[in-house]
């Protein structure tokens, strides 16, 4: 089954404690993205990757890092989380080709930073 898998689904942690949210896709997609969703703001892109070892900033990259060492994985790293990073996070992937290819989304990760 084609899917994007995020872990963990929920996490409550404290300010400053480094955390990583993993994302893995099994569709051999070149493109992967991270979004955060906040009430009243919709989804905003944090980082994206066009292929292995190719990453770039989205609209709200401050406080986040990513890496793309393998095609299937695209972890999101919060080196020193702060309360303003409390949010719902989505990983998404899509294949190369026409832009009408839908992005496949993971089920989301709810992060609470105390």
Partner 1 sequence: AQTVTQSQPEMSVQEAETVTLSCTYDTSESDYYLFWYKQPPSRQMILVIRQEAYKQQNATENRFSVNFQKAAKSFSLKISDSQLGDAAMYFCAYRSQRYSGGGADGLTFGKGTHLIIQP
Under the rule (CB under 8 A), what is the footprint of partner 1? 31, 33, 35, 40-45, 48, 50, 56, 58-59, 88, 90, 92, 94, 96, 98-100, 102-103, 105, 107-108
Residue whose CB is less far from partner 1, 9 or 18: 9
Distances (CA, A) of 24 to 4, 21, 97: 6, 10, 20
Residue whose CB is less far from partner 1, 17 or 53: 53
Q: How many CB atoms lie within 10 A of CB 82?
A: 11
CA dist 85 and 80 (Å) reads 10
Residue whose CB is less far from partner 1, 12 or 14: 12
């Amino acid at each position: 089954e084609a899917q994007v898998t995020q872990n963990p689904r929920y996490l409550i942690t404290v300010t400053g404690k480094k955390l990583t949210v993993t994302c893995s896709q099994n569709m051999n997609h070149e493109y992967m993205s991270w979004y955060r969703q906040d009430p009243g703001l919709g989804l905003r892109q944090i980082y994206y990757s066009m292929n292995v070892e190719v990453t770039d900033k989205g609209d709200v990259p401050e406080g986040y890092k990513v890496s793309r060492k393998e095609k299937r994985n695209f972890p999101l790293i919060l080196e020193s989380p702060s309360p303003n990073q409390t949010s719902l996070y989505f990983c998404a992937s899509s294949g190369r080709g026409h832009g009408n290819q839908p992005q496949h989304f993971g089920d989301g990760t709810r992060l609470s930073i105390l």
